[in-house]
Amino acid sequence: MKSLIHVMVGVIRNDQGQILIALRPKNRHQGGLWEFPGGKVEGDEPPYQALVRELSEELGLLVHEATPLIRIPYHYDDCSVLLDVWDVNRFTGEAKGMEGQEIRWVDLNHLNDYSFPAANVPILSAVRLPTQIAITGDAANKDEFCSKVQLMLERGCRWILLRDHSLSKRDFADVFHSVKPMCDAHKAILQVNTSLSLANELNAQALHLTESRLTELMGRRAFNGQWLSAACHSPDALQLAQSKGCDFVFLSPVKATATHPEQAGIGWHRFHQWVSDVTLPVYALGGVSQLDFQKVREEGGQGVASISAFWPN
């Protein structure tokens, strides 16, 4: 395999939540397309230092704190890059195109109006996806279920994954229609873990597939909604999810859990290795909570997904 050029890339947000992008000069690799600012690591320069240097050289910004967001190995015909993308959490200075390049602050929901290099597709997902996904648990009845969802929303959950709890199709649709307006009121995404056909019938914005449903999936276009994810438990499943066009994945179980104590966790070492071979945002699931977020990011993941960490007792 060709060696990868290590490129540090910064996702910089202003107080209004807009993201900074820059136009690549016509005469450069991928010229005429928009980019997230950054550039190549020089020699044995530490990566974080390279990020700080590039954003200072290209934008005149001083970075004070950044966290890894996603790493994307990508092979163009003429070169291979490893885009090492970081969320810039704190910076000072006013961004300017120091090399004469055009720069723009863009609303998240307008990013799609711009053309980026092909390698950037997962970055465009990663910047929109949350750090936490709250998965629904059990409840004695529908009222109690809805109250628990309401409580999760009030506690700040903005992405809720509705499990089908072996409900009939009709009951699942009924729960979905009750919970959807509650999520809308909090501008939260409601994702469903159900069949492709029911998700399309419900007009769901986001669908999560079990590994067996992923195997049956014909392709990304079969789902009409905006977000498609899959449950993965092996490197093969991760590759399958990527090749079928999923937007992100859950990798589990990272740790052994109370519900499946007999199943050993993947562990952080393998989590890191397996995640390195895919370009998709990956959520850690299984025995993880908000407390693991920093670790997840260090190991190449997007965030944490959990029932027990979010579902009210």
Instruction: Give DSSP secondary structure letters for 95-121.
Output: ---TTS--EEEE-GGGGGGS---GGGH
Task: Measure CA of the first residue to CA of the last residue in the chain; give whole Å.
Answer: 50
Contact status: 225 vs Mg ion (CB under 5 A) = no
Stretch that binds Mg ion, among 33-41, 76-84, 85-93, 111-119 (CB under 5 A): 33-41
Contact status: 137 vs Mg ion (CB under 5 A) = no
Contact status: 183 vs ligand 8GT (CB under 6 A) = no
Distance between CA atoms of residues 253 and 263, nearest Å: 8
Helix (H) or strand (E) holding 90: strand 80-92
Q: What does 120 interact with, of ligand 8GT, Mg ion, none (CB < 5 to 8 A by kind)?
A: ligand 8GT
Distance between CA atoms of residues 278 and 258, nearest Å: 29
Stretch that binds ligand 8GT, among 22-30, 177-185, 196-204, 302-310 (CB under 6 A): 22-30
Would you state the structure tokens that stand for residue 269, as one six-digit string?
A: 């070492």
Would you state the structure tokens that stand for residue 94, as one six-digit string?
A: 């006013």
Contacts 24+ apart (CB under 8 A), 190-198: 190/160, 190/162, 191/133, 191/159, 191/160, 191/161, 191/162, 191/227, 191/229, 192/161, 192/162, 192/164, 193/161, 193/162, 193/163, 193/164, 194/162, 194/164, 196/222, 196/223, 198/169, 198/172, 198/173
Q: What does 66 interact with, of Mg ion, ligand 8GT, none (CB < 5 to 8 A by kind)?
A: none
| 37 marked as part of a ligand binding site | yes
Residues 66, 48: contact at Cβ < 8 Å? yes
Least distance between ligand 8GT and beta carbon 180 (Å):
35
| 58 marked as part of a ligand binding site | yes
Of residues 47 through 86, those in contact with ligand 8GT by CB under 6 A are 54, 79, 81, 83
Residues 6+ apart with CB under 8 A from 200: 223, 224, 225
- The SS3 call for residue 152 is helix
| 270 marked as part of a ligand binding site | no
How many CB atoms sit inside 10 A of residue 222's CB?
16
Residues 122, 280: contact at Cβ < 8 Å? yes
Least distance between ligand 8GT and beta carbon 78 (Å):
9
Among 68, 117, 122, 301, interactor with ligand 8GT by CB under 6 A: 117
Distance of CA 250 to the CA centre of its chain: 10
Task: Select the residue whose beta carbon is closest to Mg ion and give its number.
Answer: 39
Stretch that binds Mg ion, among 35-43, 130-138, 163-171, 277-285 (CB under 5 A): 35-43
Q: What does 40 interact with, of ligand 8GT, Mg ion, none (CB < 5 to 8 A by kind)?
A: ligand 8GT
Q: What does 301 interact with, of ligand 8GT, Mg ion, none (CB < 5 to 8 A by kind)?
A: none
Q: Output 117 or 287, the one with its CB closest to ligand 8GT.
A: 117
Distance between CA atoms of residues 135 and 310, nearest Å: 7
Q: What does 119 interact with, of Mg ion, ligand 8GT, none (CB < 5 to 8 A by kind)?
A: ligand 8GT
Least distance between ligand 8GT and beta carbon 63 (Å):
14
Q: Output 39 or 137, the one with its CB closest to Mg ion.
A: 39
| 24 marked as part of a ligand binding site | yes
Contact status: 39 vs Mg ion (CB under 5 A) = yes
**Binding stretches for ligand 8GT (CB under 6 A):** 7, 9, 28-30, 35-40, 54, 79, 81, 83, 117, 119-120
Known binding-site positions for Mg(2+): 38, 58
Annotated binding site for 8-oxo-dGTP: 24, 29, 35-38, 120
Residues contributing to the site for Mg ion (CB under 5 A): 39
